[in-house]
Amino acid sequence: MIERPEPHILVVTLNRPDRRNALNTQMGLDMVELFGALYVDQEDVRCIVLTGSGSKAFCAGGDLKQRNNMTDESWQSQHAVFEKMTMALMDCPVPIIAAVNGAAFGGGFEMALSADFIYAARSARFAQTETRLGIMPGAGGTQNLPRACGVRRAKEIIFTAEQFTAEQALEWGIVNKLCDDERLMDEALATARQIAANAPIAVRQAKKSIGMATQTDLKTGYAYEIEAYNRMVPTEDRMEGVRAFNEKRDPNFKGR
Ligand code: COA
């Protein structure tokens, strides 16, 4: 489900509450289509909040009913869809906040990890359950989790498949903020609003540049940052930001 509750903000809700928003092939295809389109044209979207329908789950991971007795071939082709989805999330030029309500298990946890950062309801629970199911994380979990909480904690989480609380997730650096359950969306939207008020090209370029920080050495990353920076120099928004400061008013950014 896609909503635009206010200008520049998109709320994407995983919407299969009776299946705890488990990820089936169709949901994967929908996500590929949505985030693929946003890669090409962000329109006026400046921040995305990704959440789950209902209070029980953000996403219960891969749909284990659909996967029951799947042939190797079907499993592989479904996984290819999930790989595309993961890439589309990670490549999304617009910041994504995952607002985790309830369980984020398996592929659901990985989906949240593919966002830029996570806000969690106090009652949220996390687990990388795959090894208990005879599989392993395949939607970026072995890559994004160690980057979030360090290699040793990630190993413990993935090898044991044990669930953990939102408070532990906060302590381990996986989650940026804990919110009272009923305040989760308000808090995620408040942050989305702050992001959306900033210069969109600047935010997008910063996101790209931060993406390089974990992928390359410092000097190569810094060279990339300078290139990303130079993209903003000829923008109207650069002029507007400094002008607004001098005129003691809020800037009005246009994304050009
Ligand atoms: N795939 C398909 N259906 C799922 C599902 C999944 N991953 N997770 C939950 N469901 C279904 C249940 O089978 C149940 O359906 P039913 O009413 O037909 O039996 C319904 O959703 C509600 O699930 P239930 O377990 O009763 O809800 P809960 O709120 O008590 O617990 C979870 C929610 C997510 C903690 C629990 O369902 C769970 O552990 N699911 C498996 C998660 C997992 O390991 N995912 C990794 C997949 S790679």
The pLDDT of residue 244 is 97
pLDDT digits (tens, 9 = 90+) for 200-227: 999 999 999 999 998 999 999 999 999 9
DSSP the chain: -EEEEETTEEEEEE--GGGTT-B-HHHHHHHHHHHHHHHH--TT--EEEEEESSSSEEE--B-HHHHTT--HHHHHHHHHHHHHHHHHHHT-SS-EEEEE-SEEETHHHHHHHHSSEEEEETT-EEE--GGGGT----SSHHHHHHHHH-HHHHHHHHHH---EEHHHHHHTTS-SEEE-GGGHHHHHHHHHHHHHHS-HHHHHHHHHHHHHHTTS-HHHHHHHHHHHHHTTTT-HHHHHHHHHHHTTS-------
Rounded Cα–Cα distance for residues 140 and 53 (Å): 23
Q: Is 110 one of the annotated active-site residues of the chain?
A: yes
Q: Is 33 one of the annotated active-site residues of the chain?
A: no
Rounded Cα–Cα distance for residues 97 and 147 (Å): 17
> What separation, in Å, do the N-terminal and C-terminal C-alpha atoms of the chain show?
29
Sign of CA dihedral 19, 192, 185, 212: positive
Q: Is 244 buried (19+), middle (13-18) or exposed (0-12) by CB count in 10 A?
A: middle
Confidence of residue 166 (pLDDT cuts 50, 70, 90): very high
pLDDT digits (tens, 9 = 90+) for 5-55: 999 999 999 999 999 999 999 999 999 999 999 999 998 999 999 999 999
Looking only at the bridges linking them, the beta strands covering 103-105 and 125-127 are parallel
CB 35 less than 6 A from any atom of ligand 1? no
The pLDDT of residue 132 is 97
**Which structure tokens are listed for 147?**
């980057």
- Work out which ligand 1 atom sits closest to the CA atom of 19: 21
167: CA distance to ligand 1 center in Å?
Answer: 22
pTM of the model: 0.96
Arithmetic mean of pLDDT, 132-142:
97
CB 64 less than 6 A from any atom of ligand 1? yes
- pLDDT, averaged across the chain: 97
CB 129 less than 6 A from any atom of ligand 1? yes
The pLDDT of residue 84 is 98
Give, for ligand 1, the residue of 14, 19, 20 to mutate: max count of ligand atoms closer than 8 Å to Cβ: 20
**Which structure tokens are listed for 10?**
């998109």
113: CA distance to ligand 1 center in Å?
Answer: 20
19: CA distance to ligand 1 center in Å?
Answer: 6
- Work out which ligand 1 atom sits closest to the CA atom of 65: 2
CB 21 less than 6 A from any atom of ligand 1? no
CB 106 less than 6 A from any atom of ligand 1? yes
CB 103 less than 6 A from any atom of ligand 1? yes
pLDDT digits (tens, 9 = 90+) for 88-135: 999 999 999 999 999 999 999 999 999 999 999 999 999 999 999 999
